[in-house]
Each structure stands twice: as structure tokens, then as C-alpha cells.
Amino acid sequence: MKFAVIVFPGSNCDVDMYHAIKDELKEEAEYVWHDSESLEGFDGILLPGGFSFGDYLRTGSIARFSPVMKEVEKAAKAGKPVFGVCNGFQVLLEAGLLPGAMHRNESLKFICKNVSLKVENNETMFTSAYDKNEIISIPVAHGEGNYYCDEETLARLEENGQIVFTYHGENPNGSVKDIAGIMNEKGNVLGMMPHPERAVDPLLGGADGLKLFKSILKQWRESHAVKA
């Protein structure tokens, strides 16, 4: 399986994402600059964290207009897995590929620490390697991770099982309903604020995040009849 790691000016977690795929998952990965006009040949699309375009205007609001985002949208429509972490999640929200918006953390402070997450839905292409309601430890690092949506959107997310991860115990940023990660109705676009790519090896402090990438690979192999 071949992954595209999208790089915007200001991305700073692209290397972490590349390492998770190349060194831990043992699959192909390639950096793709934001002005690229093709994602041909890639099986999965990854939008890493950072501060795309300096987070001017709003987080992700400028990156959303990068030429590569047209290709990301095409990949999403084609059913390919599209995964955005932290700033990548914010870009997906700005692009309309996921519903809702991000506010500043309730504390108005940047948060960087490990948090506990609950796997709300393990019947997705991103979470099949987890148990339902499994509690995992994943680091966060953000200043604008307070997820918000209106009541109608929230009801739809809950009804369709689109809330994939919630904060367990402490809600570090004030997100509505403790939401840490959501997916689209089709189930192939996931955005989350915590960084699973930083939790793929015990040497990094934990490997709970690796199951997410293994889930993507498992689904791809099954859909392409590829043996492990």
C-alpha cells in the first residue's frame, strides 16, 4: 500500500507520519508538496499536523485552497482512505470533507501531553484492530482543538456512528461531547486531534496508535485481496 503524506508550508509532523508508515507499518510513503496537482498512484492520503501557512486567518483555512486539496477531494470521493491529524483535521473541516469547526482550547493555552481516548466505533476502516470501548493513550499537541458543531450535526454524527474517538476522563480542550475524532458518512475520511503517528513504538512512550494504521492496511488488503 502506498501513502501520500501531504506537506504544506508549516507542516511539522510530516516526518512523524512518514516514520509511522515507512518504519513501523513497513509500507510505502512519499511526501507530496501542497502545490501538486496529482495524487495518482497513491492508495491512501495522510494530512499531518503542524501550522499550515502559519495558521493565519484560521487554522487550515489557507491550506484548504492548495492545489493538492482538489486531488484530496477526488481521492475521498473515490473511496480512498483520507486521514487528517491535528492541523490535518482542521484542513479537512475547512475543506468541507468533515462537518464542524475548531475553536481555541477552552484554557486558551497550547496543550501538549498524553491523553486517554475511548474507541467509540471499531467498525471502521481506521479502527477495526481496536476493541469497542477500548481505552488507548495518544499524545495531543494543539492550541485550537476545541471541536464544535451545531445540535443537528451532532445528532447526525451520533446516529450514523461517525464519532470514532472521544476523550476519556479529562477533556483537554472543551470539545463538544468529548469528541476527539470523527469520520464522514461514507466512512473513508477520518479527522482527529490526537497524534497516533506519535504512538507507534514503545520507544516513543507507547504503541496504541499503530493499530489505526494497521486497520487501514488490513482494509486495503482485504479490498484488494492481498495476503499479509
pLDDT in 10s for each residue of the chain, 228 residues: 999 999 999 999 999 999 999 999 999 999 999 999 999 999 999 999 999 999 888 889 999 999 999 999 999 999 999 999 999 999 999 999 999 999 999 999 999 999 999 999 999 999 999 999 999 999 999 999 999 999 999 999 999 999 999 999 999 999 999 999 999 999 999 999 999 999 999 998 999 999 999 999 999 999 888 655
Find out if CATH 3.40.50.880 is the number for domain 2-223: yes
Q: How many helices (H) and strands (E) does the chain have?
A: 5, 11
Task: Report CA 53 to chain centroid distance, whole Å.
Answer: 19
Q: Is 20 helix (H, G, I), strand (E, B) or coil?
A: helix
Q: Tell me the torsion sign for CA atoms 98, 6, 146, 54.
A: negative
* Nearest to 183, CA basis, from 210, 204, 208, 156: 156
Contact partners, residue 28, CB within 8 Å, separation at least 6: 1, 2, 3, 21, 22
List the domain boundaries for the chain: 2-223
- 157-166 pLDDT, tens digit each: 999 999 999 9
DSSP code string of 129-179: TSPTT-EEEEEEEESS-EEE--HHHHHHHHHTT-EEEEE-S--SS--GGGE
Q: Which of 34, 71, 86, 149 is catalytic?
A: 86
Q: Is 197 a catalytic residue?
A: yes
> Are the CB atoms for 115 and 138 separated by under 8 Å?
yes
Considering the entire predicted model, what is its pTM?
0.95
Q: What is the pLDDT of residues 164-221, one digit of tens each?
A: 999 999 999 999 999 999 999 999 999 999 999 999 999 989 999 999 999 999 999 9
Q: How would you class 180 by CB atoms within 10 Å of its CB: exposed for 0-12, middle for 13-18, buried for 19 or more?
A: buried
